[in-house]
Amino acid sequence: MAGTVLIGVLVGLAAGSVFRREGSRSTVVTLPPIAAATPAAVAPDLIERADDPVPISADQSPPLLIEPSSAVAPVAPRLYSEADLMAVLPEEEMRAAVMRAEWFVTDFFTVDGASSAESDVTAALATPPDEVPLPHATATDGISYVEWARAFFVEPVEPGIYRVSVAFRTLRGADAADLSRSRVRAVAVSVRVGSRGATIVTDLPSPLGSPAALLAEPKPFTEAEAPDDVLAAAFAAAMNVGNDPAPLLAGTDDEGWRVVVMVGGESGMRWPLVVRP
């Protein structure tokens, strides 16, 4: 009996060892390592093959082309100097030059006996005309008022200096009770612009010809009787300017209806207006 038991024990140990070895066995698949390709190594090869005709089947996607990307260096933040922060933009310089030119023309051609008129002109000039007489101090009679002054052209001469062309019209006469309107005239004013928009006129005005007028061809116009709704709309629009509207002319052109309406004003005069209902 002892021998039988010993044989059974030995057979059990041998069987367990076999089962353990079989259970620990497994299939291991080893993949080859994938080399990391850099854009510089991959992209040129793909780009060179991009020009070659590659047949693509219906179930195949076209090849992806990768262009080499260049490294972008980070931009360091710019430090602005005090001079940069104080500098005037060119658009602001031009606006300041226009303002000074119109202001100077208004003062220069206005002579009304004011004691400060001559000092206003000389203070605006970089080199006061000591040897050049101004009418503000020499005129004993007569009046000249600038009715309006408008810049119509600005030309940069050099950094910070602009030549401004100004058109203007004056009311002039022997006294305030006898004024007549002059024709439109024009002068050029040279203005220097400094920091913070400071300005000064560099010289006396230079004469110019009158601003050129564009020549436009008349539009084709067909006179016709406007319907009631068109006239009603034209009268309603004309009432925003005057009163007692009356039709003068109606017709059509390439923009539609064109109605000329006469309206009255507080002065008792009547004015023609064009209305496009």
Q: Domain check: are 263 and 202 in the same one? A: no
Q: Give the separation between CA 166 and CA 247, rounded to whole angstroms.
A: 39
Among residues 208, 238, 264, the one where a domain terminates is 208
Highest mean pLDDT among 57-61, 84-88, 130-134, 197-201: 197-201
**pLDDT, average across residues 35-49:** 47
Per-residue pLDDT band at 104 (split at 50, 70, 90):
very high
Residue 226 lies in a domain: yes
pLDDT digits (tens, 9 = 90+) for 116-131: 888 999 999 998 777 7
Q: Give the separation between CA 50 and CA 39, rounded to whole angstroms.
A: 16
Query: What is the Cβ-side half-sphere exposure of residue 37, based on CA atoms within 13 angstroms?
Result: 11
Residue 182 lies in a domain: yes
Among residues 151, 173, 208, the one where a domain terminates is 208
Number of structural domains (the chain) is 2
The predicted model scores a pTM of 0.62
Sign of CA dihedral 220, 224, 228, 234: positive
Q: Domain check: are 185 and 234 in the same one? A: no
Q: Domain check: are 204 and 232 in the same one? A: no
Mean of all residue pLDDT scores within the chain: 80
Q: Cα torsion for 146, 151, 154, 160, to the nearest 10°?
A: 60
Residue whose entry in the numeric block shows the structure tokens 């059974």? 8
Residue 201: CATH number of its domain: 3.10.450.540
pLDDT at 100 over 60: yes
Residue 50 lies in a domain: no
pLDDT at 238 over 70: yes
Q: Domain check: are 91 and 152 in the same one? A: yes
pLDDT digits (tens, 9 = 90+) for 163-180: 999 999 999 998 878 899
pLDDT of residue 275: 97
Q: Domain check: are 236 and 199 in the same one? A: no
pLDDT of residue 76: 55
Q: Domain check: are 157 and 243 in the same one? A: no
Q: Which structural domain, as residue segments, surrounds residue 101?
A: 85-208
pLDDT of residue 43: 44
Among residues 208, 237, 259, the one where a domain terminates is 208
Q: Give the separation between CA 58 and CA 61, rounded to whole angstroms.
A: 8
